[in-house]
């Protein structure tokens, strides 16, 4: 497993039973930094780094290496983030998506380094360089995949802003300009797609709850909670399959992952914001998020049994859907089902490898070159 993942997942994994308790609903203000990366978990990971505990310490060094590389990167903000449909023009889709993917990665990695380094300003300032560029330059998104890619690639920009929320070196003018971009461009994209029937909605809701947390908008948080509840059992069938995703022929397993990754991430932020537990306290018959995860896990191991299409593409522990399962193992305290050893029975390569662009998006980041 990539060492950087250890740091990110450590933020979710070090409180394995926190999500299994009773709900405590009713918060109207949020603690910053927080949301996807609660401060108490960041502090715990910092203590492991301070003690040079492995593999956290080496993961931290790898994170710093990425941020040092980012210092040599120019920003790539564009006025119009125009992304054609992937299946219409894959090469142009990938080429135009790079600017936000790259800048978002650098902003997020640098902001995380700021927190884990004990508040070294050089990392915060580097992250702000990317956030400010997009806030100043980017005015809109367009074309058929513009709102989707803005939403999922832009999550890194929202996470970075949240991680920098306690940085005194962020001047009020630039901070307000960033908030305006979040409200007028990013949230607009997320809101546009959050009522769709497929994975687009899951990314839209994840983007929307991240923004609601960042902007202390409890009403917006409630709206997204209601949206998640409104169609969860249309998205997840009684046997655990996801009808809108399993129809995607050879990519049905990947699209199931591509839906569950933002769905579970949104539920985590909802829990941190409100105490409402959608992971274990919301089900209908046999249908639940956990059942959908179990379904994905089983068929990723047994792709030849996939009932929806022959020769379906399956993932790996080092990439998708391994990062998701590793995060969920602690959410559900279920190491029996969610662990890399199960993948090893199929002799998946232990070494990391590059995945196809369209198969490599997760809110639980796998930071690879």
Whether residues 267 and 351 fall in one domain:
yes
Closest CA to 289 of 248, 245, 235, 338: 235
Mean pLDDT check: name the lowest of 121-135, 172-186, 207-221, 319-333: 319-333
Residues 6+ apart with CB under 8 A from 29: 216, 218
Does the pLDDT value for residue 10 go beyond 90?
Answer: no
- Average model confidence (pLDDT) across the chain: 86
Whether residues 53 and 189 fall in one domain:
no
Average confidence (pLDDT) over 113-133: 97
**CA distances in angstroms from 304 to 113, 199, 218, 253, 309, listed in the order given:** 42, 24, 45, 12, 9
Whether residues 357 and 243 fall in one domain:
yes
Per-residue tokens: 253: 């397993």
Whether residues 280 and 334 fall in one domain:
yes
Domain enclosing residue 345, as ranges = 1-72+198-369
Largest CA distance in the chain: 56
Average confidence (pLDDT) over 13-38: 63
Domain end marker among 165, 193, 221: 193
Whether residues 42 and 143 fall in one domain:
no
- Report residue 319's pLDDT band, with 50, 70 and 90 as the boundaries: confident
Whether residues 291 and 305 fall in one domain:
yes
The answer to whether 18 touches 64, Cβ cutoff 8 Å, is no
Domain end marker among 178, 193, 208: 193
Q: What percent of the chain has pLDDT over 90?
A: 75
Average confidence (pLDDT) over 132-138: 98
Whether residues 234 and 169 fall in one domain:
no
Whether residues 63 and 91 fall in one domain:
no
pLDDT, residue 361, reads 53
Average confidence (pLDDT) over 278-298: 94
Does the pLDDT value for residue 338 go beyond 50?
Answer: no
Average confidence (pLDDT) over 76-103: 97
- Digit-coded pLDDT (tens) for 174-201: 999 999 999 999 999 999 999 999 999 9
Whether residues 287 and 257 fall in one domain:
yes
pLDDT, residue 133, reads 98
- Report residue 94's pLDDT band, with 50, 70 and 90 as the boundaries: very high
Whether residues 294 and 221 fall in one domain:
yes
The answer to whether 210 touches 223, Cβ cutoff 8 Å, is no
Does the pLDDT value for residue 73 go beyond 90?
Answer: yes
Average confidence (pLDDT) over 94-107: 96
pLDDT, residue 112, reads 95
pLDDT, residue 248, reads 96
Domain end marker among 142, 159, 193: 193
- What's the domain count of the chain? 2
Interatomic CA distance for residues 205 and 208, integer angstroms: 5
- Digit-coded pLDDT (tens) for 151-162: 999 999 999 999
Count of beta carbons in the 10 Å neighbourhood of residue 232: 19
Could you tell me the sign of the dihedral formed by the alpha carbons of 321, 326, 328, 334, in that order?
A: positive
Whether residues 292 and 337 fall in one domain:
yes
- Digit-coded pLDDT (tens) for 35-46: 999 998 899 999
Q: What percent of the chain has pLDDT over 70?
A: 83
Cis bond upstream, residue 187 (ω within 30): no
pLDDT, residue 363, reads 55
Whether residues 225 and 254 fall in one domain:
yes
């Amino acid at each position: 497993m990539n060492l950087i993942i250890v740091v990110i997942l450590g933020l979710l994994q070090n409180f394995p039973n926190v999500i299994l308790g009773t709900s405590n609903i009713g918060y109207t203000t949020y603690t910053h930094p927080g949301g996807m990366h609660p401060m108490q978990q960041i502090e715990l990971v910092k203590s492991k780094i301070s003690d040079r505990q492995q593999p956290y310490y080496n993961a931290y060094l790898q994170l710093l290496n990425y941020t040092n590389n980012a210092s040599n990167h120019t920003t790539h903000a564009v006025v119009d983030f125009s992304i054609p449909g992937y299946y219409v023009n894959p090469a142009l889709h990938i080429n135009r998506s790079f600017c936000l993917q790259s800048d978002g990665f650098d902003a997020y990695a640098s902001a995380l380094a700021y927190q884990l380094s004990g508040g070294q300003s050089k990392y915060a300032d580097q992250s702000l360089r990317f956030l400010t560029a997009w806030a100043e330059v980017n005015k809109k998104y367009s074309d058929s995949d513009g709102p989707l890619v803005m939403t999922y690639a832009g999550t890194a920009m929202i996470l970075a802003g949240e991680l920098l929320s306690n940085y005194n070196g962020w001047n009020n003018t630039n901070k307000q300009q960033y908030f305006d971009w979040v409200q007028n461009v990013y949230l607009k994209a997320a809101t546009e797609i959050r009522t769709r029937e497929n994975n687009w909605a899951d990314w839209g809701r994840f983007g929307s709850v991240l923004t609601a947390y960042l902007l202390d908008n409890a009403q917006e948080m409630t709206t997204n909670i209601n949206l998640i509840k409104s169609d969860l059992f249309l998205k997840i069938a009684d046997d655990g399959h996801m009808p809108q995703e399993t129809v995607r022929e050879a990519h049905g397993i990947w699209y199931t992952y591509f839906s569950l990754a933002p769905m579970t991430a949104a539920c985590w932020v909802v829990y941190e914001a409100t105490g409402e537990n959608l992971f274990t306290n919301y089900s209908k018959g046999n249908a639940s998020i956990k059942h959908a995860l179990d379904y994905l896990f089983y068929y990723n191991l047994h792709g030849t049994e996939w009932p929806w299409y022959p020769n379906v593409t399956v993932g790996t522990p080092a990439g998708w859907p391994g990062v998701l399962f590793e995060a969920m193992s602690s959410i559900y305290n279920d190491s029996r089902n969610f662990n890399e050893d199960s993948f090893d029975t199929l002799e998946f390569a232990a070494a990391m490898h590059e995945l196809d662009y369209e198969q490599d998006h997760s809110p639980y980041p796998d930071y690879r070159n």
